[in-house]
Amino acid sequence: MKRRTFLGLAAGAAVWPLAGRAQAPLPTIGFLGASTEANWTQWTGAFVQGLRDLGWVEGRTVRTEYRWAEGRSERFAEIAAEFVRLKVDVILTVGSAVSSVSRVTTTIPIVFALASEPVGGGLVASLARPGGNVTGLSIQSSDLMGKRFELLRELLPTLRRLAIIGNVAGTGFASEVAEAQTVARMLGFEIEVFEIRSAEDITPVFSKFNARVQALYLCPDPLMNANHARINVLALGARLPTLHPFRDYLGAGGLMSYGANNADLFRQSAYYVDKILRGAKPADLPVQQPTKFELVFNLTTAKALSLTIPPALLARADEVIE
C-alpha cells in the first residue's frame, strides 16, 4: 500500500469515531404548555434561564420540543403520545396535565413546574416520597385561600358576596371551592360558584351575576390562564374587582393577586430536569413547596373601579402596577 493511501485511511479512521460522537442525539425535553405560548412567555423564559444556569443550552447540549394545549385539557394525552413517539427523555408540564400524561406513559420522567394539590390530586404518593415517574413543585393554592380572602376583605370591608369562576373539570377546582367556602364562612361573606367547561362558557357566566355580587375570584387552571385577559375585561365592564391566584393573571384589568411566584417555580423546575437528565429518578426527588409569595395591586384598575387601596395595604405589596 502506498504511504499516501495509508495515511488517508488512518486519518479517516481517526475521524469516524469523532463524527459518531458529534452526531449523538441531544437529550430531549418535552415541554407541554397547558395554556398558550403567549401567556407562558415569562414562565418559559424562566425555565430556559434555569437550564442555562445549569449548563443546558438549547441546540448545543439539549433540545426542547414545545407543544401547546391552549387551555384544552383533551389535548394533554395527544401531546403526551407525541412525546412518547419522539422518545423524549423528560416531560415538563403543570399539575393539571399530569394525570393525562401519566396514563400515556409510566416510564418517561414527568416534572410538574407547579401543581395545586399534588397529593390530594393523586399526582404523587407523598411530598417527601413521590413514587412512580412524577415529581415537581407545589403552589399550595388552596392553603393560601385564607390569606387571599383576608386581603380582599381588607380592601373591601363591606364585602358580602363573592363570585368564583372556575373550570369544573380542573384538577384543583373542587378543593379550591371547598376551602373558599370554609374561609368565607369564617370571614362572614357568601360564595357563589359559577362553573365553566370551555372558553365559550365565559361570556354567558357574566350575564348570571346578580347585583349582590361584589367581587370575583378566578380558580387557577389552564383554561383560566388562556382566557384571563378576556375575563378581566368582562369583569371591568361589569365593574367587578378581581382577585387572582397569580400575578400572571392580572394582565390588563385585573385588580389584585396573591400567590406563589410562578416564574420562580419554573426556574426551579429546571433543577429537577437537570437532575433527571443526569440520571436521578423522579421517585427520589421530593416535591418542593414555594418559598416566595407576592402581593400585587393594579392601581390603574383600582382607579377605573373608583377604589382606593388603603395605604397600609399598599405598603405590604411586593409590586404595584401603575
Interatomic CA distance for residues 132 and 288, integer angstroms: 16
* DSSP states of 263-293: HHHHHHHHHHHHHHHTT--GGGSPPB----E
What is the structure's pLDDT at 8?
43
Q: What is the pLDDT of residues 98-133, one digit of tens each?
A: 999 999 999 999 999 999 888 888 899 999 999 999
Region 178-205 average pLDDT: 94
9-140+262-293 against 142-259+294-321: fold identical: yes
pLDDT band of residue 176 (cuts 50, 70, 90) is confident
Average pLDDT along the chain: 90
**CA quadruple 91, 93, 98, 100: dihedral positive or negative?**
negative
Res. 172: pLDDT tops 90: no
Could you please state the CATH topology (level 3) that the domain comprising 9-140+262-293 is classified under: Rossmann fold (3.40.50)
What integer pLDDT is reported at residue 251 of this predicted model?
76
The single-letter DSSP state of residue 317 is -
> Structural domain boundaries of the chain?
9-140+262-293, 142-259+294-321
- Total-model pTM: 0.82
Give the CATH superfamily of 142-259+294-321.
Response regulator (3.40.50.2300)
d(Cα 269, Cα 89) in Å, to the nearest integer? 15
- Please report which confidence band the pLDDT of residue 1 belongs to, taking 50, 70 and 90 as the band edges: very low
The residue count for the chain: 322
Higher pLDDT, 19 or 189: 189
pLDDT, tens digit (0-9, with 9 covering 90-100), for 254-283:
999 999 999 999 999 999 999 999 999 999
Percent of the chain topping pLDDT 70: 92
Residues 6+ apart with CB under 8 A from 99: 121, 122, 123, 171
Q: pLDDT-derived band of residue 23, with 50, 70 and 90 as boundaries?
A: low
Mean pLDDT to the nearest integer, 223-244: 93
